[in-house]
Chains A and B, each alone.
Chain A
Amino acid sequence: MASMSNALIRSWDFTHFSPLVAGIFHTVARLGGLGHVAVKFGKAFRLKFTVISTSLKKESEAINKFGADSFLVSSNPAQLKGITRAEVLPAKTNLFFTLPFSKQIQYSDPVQDLIVLIPITEHNKEGNMALAFDEFGRPFIILKEQEHKTRLRGLDAQKANISAGKAVARILRTSLGPKGMDKMLQSPDGDVTITNDGATILEQMDVDNQIAKLMVELSRSQDYEIGDGTTGVVVMAGALLEQAEKLLERGIHPIRIAEGYEMASRISFEHLERIAHKFEFEATNIEPLIQTCMTTLSSKIVNRCKRSLAEIAVKAVLAVADLERKDVNLDLVKVEGKVGGKLEDTELIYGIVVDKDMSHPQMPKQIEDAKIAILTCPFEPPKPKTKHKVDIDTVDKFQTLRQQEQQYFDDMVQKCKDVGATLVICQWGFDDEANHLLMHRNLPAVRWVGGVELELIAIATGGRIVPRFQELTPEKLGRAGLVREKSFGTTKDRMIYIEHCANSRAVTIFIRGGNKMIIEETKRSVHDALCVARNLIRNKSIVYGGGSAEISCSLAAEAAADKYPGVEQYAIRAFADALDAIPMALAENSGLQPIETLSAVKSQQIKENNPFCGIDCNDVGTNDMCEQNVFESLIGKQQQILLATQVVKMILKIDDVIAPSEY
């Protein structure tokens, strides 16, 4: 009983905040038990009350004894007509009911004299109250706790948002750098992913908080745009938020902070361009590119063979790159993985690998100088899209139909043969008969090849995808120097290699590794490396890694800050401090003393006027990233700063969070 009273008292506590509109009935009642307490409280707050009960007998008691304003009998629909709506949330079903009032009564009918009628006010119309029944079947009101309210305003909103953003950044912080740790993520289906790729972690994290979702978006857009630095951008945003919080506490208006950040990011952006190096490579000298990819790969679990993977990635990108237009279509690089073997067995194949086998076990396993027919029509009798029926009513018809069918299969295979194809790759399945005919005519075939793969094969072999047998012509065939089937391991695992293609512009990176998770992680790492190589081909500028660029920018921002009059100055300094967070995290993750190391490197940069000094994560012995060959692409770094600033600005500008309430 005490708890029920509490609930009730809380309910008044709550409604009393709201601007009460005269004329709306605020009520509770269950006379004799708890209801009268409510009525008395209500009267004390000068609310108007209606008591609803199933029994007429209680009328006088309600009005005279407890001072209710009116009395309604729930069994009389006419009386209830005036009250249009009541909202009650049955706690047990977790459903939000908005019922016509009369139905509401029915709902609680089994409990003899009901009731609770909650008035609709500004605040509780979102459904912050709930009607529940205690163990004796008595109803009482549950109010959502104050802090669970879904609305936050003013400074509170900003602080809550900032702390959410920081929480996300904190998770990723330890993954930064060559000595960063991995995260283990278990999906709703129980699959395990182990990764330290920021974008992947955030995507699989199942985040619910609105601001956290913004951070996830941030990392994703860095991934789409650049493909690398997804962790860095989030850590950076987290640091910016942290600094902003301090400024907010000092009473600086969020918009001013945002503006200051904007200026600082412009300063850094330009400064990066100044310290960037043009970076020369040609198709013959790919060493610099490989070095850059190695920087990217060194933070992943595959850093054991980063050299060979970097080479593979660079060669793959160069194979598909259009150096004149400075464009790289990464769709042409297929990354395929197969469990088993060692990471060292990973190879680059100038061609396509398809995870399929020949449709008939006795077809030849190796075809040289293959002419490939790429089909998207099944080797089956046609299925017209219009509805039709073929009626068989005589023996003749039965036999002709049968012959036609055979003729049809024959024709299909013959057509492929006629145009000179020596291999058929088909998106659909084959009928047994067709399969044997193909085999019989010595025409190897692969079935159920996916659409994307089919396109790649078409690009690689210079063939055309043919949707109908009738359209098959010799010019539409693709050409490949060698097609072979290769088997792996002890199980019946086979793959088809299509190599020496007419157009070597499509390549496959074929990854081997000890287990599924390693393969998945390698795929992601290779993807990052590919993106980095692509970015360098698009824009040849590089900056040095190991936090050196951030430290240099931080110094530049710090120096520039004094020139700005006004409060923004503080924000620019804060921005400089936030930039330090990245080298700091790098040092921390590498097991170095973060503050000592950072200050040493910083003073070295100023003393030697050398913007290439960074954190020596791998304990090589020099701080000069130029010597260590640790590069990052300029656009990647610029993008990081821009994106992080943008998101932080957005978060700072929010001063009111209204989220739909959930139950």
Chain B
Amino acid sequence: MAVDKLFKDEATEEKGERARMASFIGAMAIADLVKTTLGPKGMDKILQSTGRGHSVTVTNDGATILKSLHIDNPAAKVLVDISKVQDDEVGDGTTSVVVLAGELLREAEKLVNSKIHPMTIISGYRMAAEAARNALLEKVVDNKQDAEKFNADLIKIAMTTLSSKILSQDKEHFAKLAVDAVMRLKGSTNLESIQIIKKPGGSLKDSFLDEGFILDKKIGVGQPKRIENAKILVANTAMDTDKVKIYGARVRVDSMAKVAEIEGAEKEKMREKVQKIINHGINCFVNRQLIYNFPEELFADSGVLAIEHADFDGIERLALVTGGEIASTFDNPESVKLGHCKLIEEIMIGEDKLIHFSGVQMGQACTIVLRGASPHMLDEAERSLHDALCVLSQTVNDSRVLLGGGWPEMVMAKAVDELARRTPGKRSHAIEAFSRALAAIPTTIADNAGLDSAELIAQLRAEHQKEESSAGIDVISGLVGNMAELGISESFKVKQAVLLSATEAAEMILRVDEIITCAPRQREDRM
């Protein structure tokens, strides 16, 4: 007697071949979805949110696309996850990692169909991944010692990253911008200190890097619009009514006169607080919270520039830039570190007034002002720039550099092919398959650029049989070109992360032989 019901009502179970098929198909569907965005001639996607307003995003950033999808297939979720991690960890290669994982699974499917056990495939893939990584390690160039060359490398990497994005038209400009910004960080990977301000209007070319700091706020009325040698106090304190924090306190009065008295006391208290702040000997006060009219007036009276409601990141960044500390109490003016800068002034970008702090002490932070025709474009530009910044900041720490344009994939494929020839047993099929999956990336790049991929890849492969070849796909001329001469470079760290996490994900999906899906939790608001 068969057990007809083992699971709860709507839970489903997929077994063996069917499970594997379900996960392969799900994963490949995701890979195919983002495939067309790969490479310098990749296309963008429009994403429309289901939320209110149906806001639209135009992007070709793999991670952004995948993040916005509602996916039900569990295997596809694995791919989305690796792309997200790639984004968090190195910032770029989010599309490549998914495409590579998809290709690995596509090859694996063929092998499984020809009756090779998934475990054999996995062990082959592992060997291949190791060989591929070693091949890359052999070919890396490290110019850390030579600052000038390294700088050139960084610019090349930035240009390569940007060339697949919306910024590709002005990639020289933006590459320089990004490299300058990252070099200011002096090795830190904290991209928080690079502020990106988006202002619609103008063209992308008008974007610029500002060495100082720009705060997207207005200067209070009647306060000086320009301060030289500013002493800045950065604060996080309530400047409306200072609440009594002792629990259960409340005001209870029995006459109007008393109300007035208490109000007076409150005012007095605020006046004291403001006085204390002013006693720090400052001429600029930046607060995270609101500054009400009354204290603002007081500040204006004593010629102090008061800026209210800078968001938390802004405050932190400002503190970082000017070297001050974020203060919340003001009783010991002598020990509070004040921030300094040479000049504070109000500037105009487009139609908007912004506050510009220049001549700051600590050069770590900087601001990039992006200009562009529409908010969508600016959003995408920001994402692209963010990718470039991420890659650069990672490269500064791990200065190993590779060539781009499908060159690393071909190098890896070659090494993996050699390994396949040396390996006895069924595993060699898997290793060969791995090399085919690697070659799929330049193929996709070529396809997306509308080139004859079959022809190009064959040429490329032949080219790579020569020692020390630096051939890759030159998408612009549509031919096999010398990547070293064309100055197309990629960061080793990104490539390695792509290789390892794609293999890991493929392995994970391959190991699955059964999928058990629980009934989705009933949600009342979804009806």
Contacts and interface: CB of A to CB of B under 8 A. Distances in A.
Contact of B247 (A188, A301, A381, A435): A381
A393 B254 contact: yes
Nearest to A362: B325
A610 interface: no
A164 B3 contact: yes
Given A181-B118, A398-B265, A159 B326 contact: no
A187 B72 CA distance: 11
Contacts of B327: 436, 440
Nearest to B81: A515
B507 A194 contact: no
Given A186-B518, A393-B251, A404-B246, A163 B513 contact: no
B77 A183 contact: no
B126 A186 contact: no
A515 B89 CA distance: 11
B7 to A, nearest CB: 6
Contacts of A174: 513-514
A642 interface: no
Contacts of A590: 119
A301 B1 contact: no
A489 B88 contact: yes
B5 A489 contact: no
B512 A206 contact: no
B60 interface: no
Interface string A397-439: 0110110111011000000000000000000000111011101
A616 interface: no
B519 A489 contact: no
Nearest to A189: B521
B152 interface: no
A110 B331 CA distance: 80
A100 interface: no
B516 A186 contact: yes
Given A188-B520, A393-B258, A514-B82, A383 B265 contact: no
A339 B88 contact: yes
Contacts of B118: 181
B328 A436 contact: yes
A187 B159 CA distance: 43
B235 to A, nearest CB: 8
B191 A437 contact: no
Which of under 10, 10 to 19, 20 to 34, or 35 or more describes the interface residues of A? 35 or more
- Interface-centre pick from A212, A399, A402 (highest chain B CB count, 10 A): A402
Contact of B120 (A189, A515, A591): A591
A452 interface: no
A103 B299 CA distance: 77
Interface string A39-65: 000000000000000000000000000
Contacts of A323: none
B319 A163 contact: no
Contact of B504 (A185, A515, A591): A515
B335 interface: yes
Interface stretch (A30-38, A384-392, A461-469): A384-392
A567 interface: no
- Please give me the 5 A-B residue pairs with the lowest Cβ-Cβ distance, nearest first: A436-B328, A181-B513, A514-B501, A188-B521, A182-B511
- Interface-centre pick from B120, B249, B251, B336 (highest chain A CB count, 10 A): B249
Contacts of A188: 518-521
5 contacts: A185-B518, A189-B520, A194-B511, A392-B252, A401-B244
Interface string A511-528: 001111110000000000
A204 B74 CA distance: 15
Nearest to A161: B3
A360 B192 contact: no
A182 to B, nearest CB: 4
Interface string B492-525: 0000000011001101110111111111110000
B518 A490 contact: no
- Interface-centre pick from B6, B9, B331 (highest chain A CB count, 10 A): B6
Contact of B269 (A342, A402, A492): A402
Interface in B256-279: 258, 261-262, 264-266, 269
A517 B310 CA distance: 38
A410 to B, nearest CB: 9
- Interface-centre pick from A184, A201, A204, A341 (highest chain B CB count, 10 A): A184
Contact of A431 (B8, B19, B88, B245): B245
Given A209-B3, A392-B251, A405 B244 contact: yes
A383 B2 CA distance: 62
A192 to B, nearest CB: 4
A342 B190 contact: no
A606 interface: no
A121 to B, nearest CB: 27
A591 B332 CA distance: 76
Given A194-B512, A343-B504, 17 more contacts: A159-B1, A160-B3, A179-B119, A194-B508, A204-B516, A208-B7, A208-B9, A209-B3, A209-B5, A342-B500, A391-B250, A392-B250, A393-B251, A398-B251, A490-B394, A514-B504, A516-B85
A243 interface: no
A524 to B, nearest CB: 14
Contacts of A186: 74, 515-518
